[in-house]
Structure 1
Amino acid sequence: MLWIELLIFLACIVIGARIGGIGMGVIAGIGLIIFVFLFQMPPGSPPVIVLGMILAVITALSTMEAAGGLDYLVSVAEKVMRKNPKSITFVAPFVTYILIFASGTQHVIYALLPVIAEISRKAGVRPERPMSISVIAAMHGLVASPISAATVALVGSLAGLDVTLPQIMMVTIPSTLIAVFIGALSVLKRGKNLADDPVYQEKLAKGLLAEETQSEKKVLEGKELALAKGSTIMFFLAIVVVVIVGMFPGLRPTYETIVNGAVQTGQISMAKTIIILMLATAGIIMVFFKAQPGKTIAGKTMKSGLVALISILGISWLGSSFYEANQLVIIDSIKTIIEGQQWVFAIGLFLLSILLFSQAATITILMPVGVALGIPAPILIAVYPAVNGYFFLPTYGTVIAAVSFDQTGTTKIGKYLLNHSFMLPGLVTTISAVVISLLLTSVF
């Protein structure tokens, strides 16, 4: 019966991934019908607190976007890259990393990719180099970000192990930054320069390349610029407060409740603290920096965030049902595999992320299993960057976008599918991040 259940679980993931969007979440609902009503398996439960944290962060970020904050961040990033065109292979991924780290969402890379393609082409640098590593850098910037859905999910999953957000960041930030640098080195000399590339030269000779124009973006001026800057500062202040409260648990308020006639003192959890702070931040941005509610809801961040929420709701709930029904078998099987080699858990995260195309969903499903297996918290934090395996199949949105924005044709999906431009920097960066994280956790 286990294998039939596993087959249904995987089928829901594959079909949902092929449909795209909220497909994974709603197809998981069909799986739940089969599991719960037909097979009479335990219903499991959705990660309510994690979903609440993600929704609160998305709301705050969406209000910042509505106030012009994301446009402002992108404009700053573009200026930095244009100042160093010859070093675009190194500058682009780090600018991308910082922007994703600060914003907590990958979708802002869509505004950077055409800029990277344009700058590299004008500088005579093969666009494949900065484009490929920038896409990978965005994934790792998201892992390091304290307010990304994936990190929020990790904090929620490890809550029972007394793991704080600063502890996670002390490992993920340096490991991913160093890994991105190593990844950039891996593509620094990749392929021929544009001057020597026959495919590019042929396109150029035939006039198949469109005229290079300055990327069209909304120019923020006057009051709009002031509001955009203000919303950005407010959002960053909120992130700082979240980190500080995580570092000093005593800052979280205590409260009293009456249970069976006795007064009990409790302290608000870190998860609820994040939810409150982010909702309050959204409110402040909306009131003082004129973020319109309609624009907030209609923005790209809110739309992509809701897709992520529905996907995580469905697939994590389905995974919870499958896990609860087969908990002993799953734990015993995995325990045998990873016994004495707990880092192998990273491979599981990597493989599942390929199927789910979601770091947060991968964490929500597998990290509780790691906790149940008794894997120490430092190891679980160290293998966290392994959730960036979704570059492996060249079907993710940022991968496809990078290919389409590169008019030179150097950034490509290979003839054999897996020999695409992102495989080398993706593997190098992700493996490096995990190895460095393991070294850091052994020191700390």
Structure 2
Amino acid sequence: MIWLQFIVLLTMILIGSRLKGIGLGLMGVLGMFIYVQVFRLRPTEPPQDVMLIILSIVTTAATLQAAGGLDYLVSIAERVIRRNPKQITFVAPITTYVLCLFAGTAHIVYSLLPIIAEVSAKKRIRPERPLSASVIASHLALTGSPMSAATAALAAILAYPGASIDVMKVCIPACLLGVLASCASVYKMGKELNQDPEFLERMKDPEFAKSLESEDDANIKELKPGAKISVAIFGIAIFMILIGGAFPHLVPEMAEGSANFSVNADGSLKMVTIIEVVTLSAAALIMLITKTSPAEITKASLFTSMASAVVSVFGVVWMSSTFMANNEPVIKELMGTITASYPWLFAVAIFIMGMLMFSQSATTKTMMPLGLTLGLANPSLIAMFPAVNSDFFLPGYPTLLAAINFDRTGSTKIGKYVLNHSFMIPGLVGIAVAIIVGFILIGLLGIGK
């Protein structure tokens, strides 16, 4: 019976991943309907913590976007990239990583991709190289960012004092080295642009050739008056979350009593509560101080994407957790022996689930509790955390498609066999290096001892 249930799980995820957007979440709820009606499985609790984390963090990021703060951050990144055109294969991904790490969202990369594509093409550097590495960098930045829903979800699952700080101490340097490894892996990828037949064919078009000969003048976009203030408030919110995670004794404590969604039994506030209160308070201050209207916030592209993310996490995580909870003894028997002998194989399982779910937070919420159930130690799960970034493997994720569309030279592409696309090598290299470095760092830092 477990195999029939597993087939239902995979079928819903595969169909949902092809539908994109809220399709994944809706197919997850359909899977729940089948589990309850056909297999009579007992539903688990929906992933309320992750859903509220996504709602809080993305609403704050959308407020930052509406106030002009994201435009200000992108303008800084653009200047950095344009000032170092010859080293764009390294500069662009690193800049992307830092920007997405601060903002806690990979969606910022959409603003940088056309800049990266144009600067590299004009300098006759194959755009495929910096574009592919930058997309992977935008994903890796989410595993470690204090403003990322995936990082907050992992800290909530590990649920020990200082968990969020441990995740950042390990994953930020590990993923940064993973980004550098990705850059190195694509440094000589493909033919040089001036030797690429497709590019040479396009250069026969006089208008196309003229556009690449024009000067590298940045498009100056007028910033909103409150842009810099909104970034400052957003930065303070990040700092407060870091302080709350690193020094829990500084966080107000309530009277002891029964634990609930927000408070532990000893009266300490849960990290989820701290993140939600701080981020949404920051959003309120940005709105008030910069005079940003609520209507502008709800119209922001990030706010729209939040609805899709919440529905997706709700459906697919609820379905996955129900399957695993009702089959826990069998799963432990099947995977327990293997992971006990070869713990690193669980990272492969995370990677596979991540490439099907197209969501770091959903993959984290689905797989990390399973890792704890199988007896994997907290430090090992932290080191394996970058494996949730496998959404590049099947070339359907929006950031990948955007990079392909912005590359006017045609060098960034999906290959004849689908999986031999431009992002495969930097993605595999980046994640593998990040996980290896993560395991090294948990030993050097003595995490878990």
Q: TM-score range by the shorter chain?
A: over 0.9
**Hey, what does 2:18 align to over in structure 1?**
18
**Hey, what does 1:194 align to over in structure 2?**
193
Gaps of 5+ in 1: none
**Hey, what does 2:234 align to over in structure 1?**
235
Relative to structure 1, the CA distance from residue 265 to residue 163 in structure 2 (aligned partners, 3 Å threshold; closer, same or farther) is: closer
**Cα distance, 1:218 vs structure 2:** 7.2
Relative to structure 1, the CA distance from residue 322 to residue 217 in structure 2 (aligned partners, 3 Å threshold; closer, same or farther) is: farther
Relative to structure 1, the CA distance from residue 409 to residue 258 in structure 2 (aligned partners, 3 Å threshold; closer, same or farther) is: closer
Partner amino acid, structure 2, of 1:272 = T
**Cα distance, 1:164 vs structure 2:** 1.9
User: Are the equivalent residues in 2 in contact too, given 1:230–1:289 (CA < 8 A)?
Assistant: yes
* Secondary structure in structure 2 of the residue aligned to 1:142: coil
* Corresponding position: 1:77 with 2:77: yes
* Secondary structure in structure 1 of the residue aligned to 2:255: strand
Structure-1-length-normalised TM-score: 0.95
1:34-433 mapped onto 2 (5 Å cutoff): 34-159=34-159, 161-207=160-206, 209=208, 211-212=211-212, 219-221=221-223, 224=224, 226-256=225-255, 266-433=267-434
**Cα distance, 1:291 vs structure 2:** 2.1
**Cα distance, 1:48 vs structure 2:** 1.1
Relative to structure 1, the CA distance from residue 117 to residue 108 in structure 2 (aligned partners, 3 Å threshold; closer, same or farther) is: same
Relative to structure 1, the CA distance from residue 258 to residue 3 in structure 2 (aligned partners, 3 Å threshold; closer, same or farther) is: closer
**Cα distance, 1:303 vs structure 2:** 1.2
Partner amino acid, structure 2, of 1:239 = I
**Equivalent-residue separation in structure 2 for 1:241 and 1:215 (angstroms):** 38
User: Are the equivalent residues in 2 in contact too, given 1:85–1:119 (CA < 8 A)?
Assistant: yes
Partner amino acid, structure 1, of 2:86 = K
User: Are the equivalent residues in 2 in contact too, given 1:209–1:408 (CA < 8 A)?
Assistant: no
* Secondary structure in structure 2 of the residue aligned to 1:434: helix
Partner amino acid, structure 1, of 2:245 = G
User: Are the equivalent residues in 1 in contact too, given 2:161–2:245 (CA < 8 A)?
Assistant: no
**Cα distance, 1:144 vs structure 2:** 2.2
**Cα distance, 1:256 vs structure 2:** 2.0
**Equivalent-residue separation in structure 1 for 2:288 and 2:188 (angstroms):** 50
Partner amino acid, structure 1, of 2:340 = E
**Cα distance, 1:216 vs structure 2:** 8.6
* Alignment deviations for residues 312-367 of structure 1 (CA, whole Å, 9 cap, x no partner): 01111001111111011011211122122211111011000110111111001110
Partner amino acid, structure 1, of 2:35 = F
**Equivalent-residue separation in structure 2 for 1:291 and 1:52 (angstroms):** 23
Relative to structure 1, the CA distance from residue 38 to residue 404 in structure 2 (aligned partners, 3 Å threshold; closer, same or farther) is: same
* Secondary structure in structure 2 of the residue aligned to 1:267: coil
**Cα distance, 1:204 vs structure 2:** 0.3
Partner amino acid, structure 2, of 1:277 = V
User: Are the equivalent residues in 1 in contact too, given 2:339–2:374 (CA < 8 A)?
Assistant: no
**Cα distance, 1:217 vs structure 2:** 6.1
* Alignment deviations for residues 186-220 of structure 1 (CA, whole Å, 9 cap, x no partner): 11112222122222112102447373577996722
User: Are the equivalent residues in 2 in contact too, given 1:367–1:380 (CA < 8 A)?
Assistant: yes
**Hey, what does 2:262 align to over in structure 1?**
none
* Secondary structure in structure 2 of the residue aligned to 1:147: coil
Partner amino acid, structure 1, of 2:43 = P
CA RMSD between the two structures: 1.7
User: Are the equivalent residues in 2 in contact too, given 1:104–1:146 (CA < 8 A)?
Assistant: yes
Relative to structure 1, the CA distance from residue 442 to residue 307 in structure 2 (aligned partners, 3 Å threshold; closer, same or farther) is: same
Partner amino acid, structure 2, of 1:65 = Q
Partner amino acid, structure 2, of 1:198 = P
User: Are the equivalent residues in 1 in contact too, given 2:170–2:438 (CA < 8 A)?
Assistant: yes
Partner amino acid, structure 2, of 1:403 = I
**Equivalent-residue separation in structure 2 for 1:5 and 1:215 (angstroms):** 57
* Secondary structure in structure 2 of the residue aligned to 1:43: coil
**Cα distance, 1:425 vs structure 2:** 0.7
User: Are the equivalent residues in 2 in contact too, given 1:28–1:318 (CA < 8 A)?
Assistant: yes
**Cα distance, 1:37 vs structure 2:** 2.6
Gaps of 5+ in 2: 259-264
* Alignment deviations for residues 274-314 of structure 1 (CA, whole Å, 9 cap, x no partner): 11111111111111112221111111111112211110011
Relative to structure 1, the CA distance from residue 254 to residue 392 in structure 2 (aligned partners, 3 Å threshold; closer, same or farther) is: same
User: Are the equivalent residues in 2 in contact too, given 1:54–1:152 (CA < 8 A)?
Assistant: no
* Alignment deviations for residues 143-189 of structure 1 (CA, whole Å, 9 cap, x no partner): 12111111111111111x44521111010011111111111111111
Structure-2-length-normalised TM-score: 0.94
- Structure 1 stretch displaced more, 321-330 or 335-344: 335-344
Residue correspondences, number = 436
User: Are the equivalent residues in 2 in contact too, given 1:96–1:134 (CA < 8 A)?
Assistant: yes
User: Are the equivalent residues in 1 in contact too, given 2:127–2:412 (CA < 8 A)?
Assistant: yes
User: Are the equivalent residues in 2 in contact too, given 1:163–1:377 (CA < 8 A)?
Assistant: no
**Equivalent-residue separation in structure 2 for 1:392 and 1:289 (angstroms):** 40
